[in-house]
Amino acid sequence: MSGKIDKQIGEGETQETIKTKLLECDINPTFQRNEIARVMLSKPQHLSADQVLTLVNAKDGHVSKATVYNTLNLFVEKGLIREVAIDPTKIFYDSNTSHHHHYYNEDTGEIYDFETDVMSLNPKSSLPENTVQSGLDVVVRVKNST
Amino acid sequence: MSGKIDKQIGEGETQETIKTKLLECDINPTFQRNEIARVMLSKPQHLSADQVLTLVNAKDGHVSKATVYNTLNLFVEKGLIREVAIDPTKIFYDSNTSHHHHYYNEDTGEIYDFETDVMSLNPKSSLPENTVQSGLDVVVRVKNST
DNA sequence: CTGCTTGCAAAGGCTTTGCAGAACA
DNA sequence: TGTTCTGCAAAGCCTTTGCAAGCAG
């Protein structure tokens, strides 16, 4: 971990890349949406709406709470990000929409990704009748051993 | 489905069995706790606090909302039941604490169990440092194909 | 000008908490 | 009698909604 981390945050995606991604998802790239997308997409991460609000306004923007909530819902609906059901009392949003799963540290609240090659899942053989799979969430809950 | 259903509900566990289970979990078996345990443990199922409240009071009992919430939390804390993180807006409680996972029908809200033999998971090789696994939640989200 | 977007404040749903009365040992 | 438990109501947190003002095409 180097001292460059601060500088790198938010630069994983350029302003242009972000607008392109929004447009690809049929999202009109307004100022607020750009700001929220920049925070969310800067790196693979898992943020609550409140954390997004704080991060967006920690920089130069000034985005209201309602807009953050509505925008995050819009992003989920359009497939730009996804919801993570880890904490039953709060919604987390995940900037990584590719197939992967989560370690959740119950002691610290930290969330880590792990890739699908860690597991093999074969649920098709027993899906409920007349249904098709639309998503898969795997949460491995861990706690500190030390 | 026969007309005996009403009579059968709640008889999956006898009054004695329920009290024994409560005592085994260090829970003082009061009237309200017995009622709530009877509803929860009558069969493998997934209920929200509100559903438990309705079911408990649909019978002869009269248990307050606060007691239902507090008691369900007590049961979770004592390991008698477990929380299921499926719907980020509502907590579901699962009467089955053994290893199993869930299909969640996003169209209907229905939850079905599936057993662990459907999947093989080998997360130990990559658990975060200094942690031990404390739980595993797998949710396969499905939607109607018809 | 017309439609989309934003923001404030209020409302909403789910859950927890404070405290007084009831039950129990 | 002292501790535990219950229930009502109020408060709390997170999220959504209504509506007026702002912006873009």
Pairing of strands B92-94, B100-105: unpaired
B55 inside domain: yes
Where residue A54 sits, what CATH number does that domain have? 1.10.10.10
Contact yes or no for A126 and B118 at CB 8 A: yes
Q: Where are the beta strands (DSSP E) in B53-116?
A: 82-84, 92-94, 100-105, 111-115
In terms of residue numbers, what domain contains A39? Answer: 15-92
Residues A56 and A105 in one domain: no
- Identify the pLDDT of residue A91: 92
Strands B100-105 and B131-144: parallel
The verdict on A23 touching B (C-beta cutoff 8 Å) is: no
Q: How far is CA B31 from CA A68, B8, B38, B62, in A?
A: 46, 20, 11, 10
CA of B106 to C1' of C3 (A): 32
What is the reported pLDDT for B15?
75
* Cβ pairs A/B, distance under 8 A: 133
Domain assignment of residue A50, yes or no:
yes
Same domain, B82 and B105: no
Shared domain check, B81 and B34: yes
Three-state DSSP at A48 gives strand
| Segment 47-106 of chain B within 8 Å of chain A by CB | 83-92, 103, 105-106
- Shared domain for B116 and B79, answered yes or no, is no
Q: Name the residue with higher pLDDT: A109 or B8.
A: A109
Q: Which of A92, A112, A134 is the last residue of a domain?
A: A92
User: Which pLDDT value is given to residue A2?
Assistant: 35
The CA distance from A128 to the nearest CA of chain B, in Å, is: 8
Give strand pairing partners of B119: A121
**Within-domain flag for A5:** no
- Tell me the pLDDT tens digit for each residue of B32-48: 999 999 999 998 899 99
Looking at the structure, tell me whether residues A46 and A112 fall in a common domain.
Answer: no
Nearest to B33 by CA among B47, B21, B45, B50: B21
Mean pLDDT for B115-125 is: 56
Provide the shortest C-alpha distance from residue A82 to chain B (in Å): 12
Same domain, A64 and A109: no
Give me the mean pLDDT over the A16-35 stretch: 92
Note the CA–C1' distance, B66 to C20, in angstroms.
15
Residue B3 lies in a domain: no
Q: What is the predicted pLDDT for the residue at B109?
A: 83
Same domain, B111 and B138: yes
By the 8 A CB rule, do A2 and A54 touch? no
Task: Report the pLDDT value the prediction gives residue A10, as an integer from 0 to 100.
Answer: 43
Q: Is residue A83 part of a domain?
A: yes
| Number of structural domains found in chain B | 2
Min distance B85 CA to chain A CA atoms (Å):
5
Asked if residue A4 has pLDDT above 80, the reply is no
Chain B residue closest in CA terms to A130: B145
Query: How high does pLDDT run on average in chain B?
Result: 82
- B107 and B83 within one domain: no
Across the range B74-97, mean pLDDT stands at 90
C1' of nucleotide C7: residue with nearest CA? A64
Among B72, B92, B112, the domain-final residue is B92
Share of chain B above pLDDT 70, in %: 84
- Strand, coil or helix: B115: strand
B63 and B79 assigned to the same domain: yes
In a domain, B42, yes or no: yes
The reply to whether B49 has its C-beta less than 7 Å from any atom of strand C is yes
Interchain contact A140–B (C-beta under 8 A): yes
How far does the CA of A119 sit from the C1' of C12, in Å? 40
In a shared domain, residues B125 and B79: no
Same domain, A71 and A107: no
Averaged pLDDT for residues A71-81: 95
pLDDT band at B50 (very low <50, low <70, confident <90, very high): very high
Residue A51 covered by a domain: yes
In the structure encoding, which two tokens stand for residue B38, read together? 């009877």
Nearest to A118 among B110, B126, B133 (CB): B126
* Coil, helix or strand at residue A122: coil
Nearest to A137 among B110, B122, B139 (CB): B139
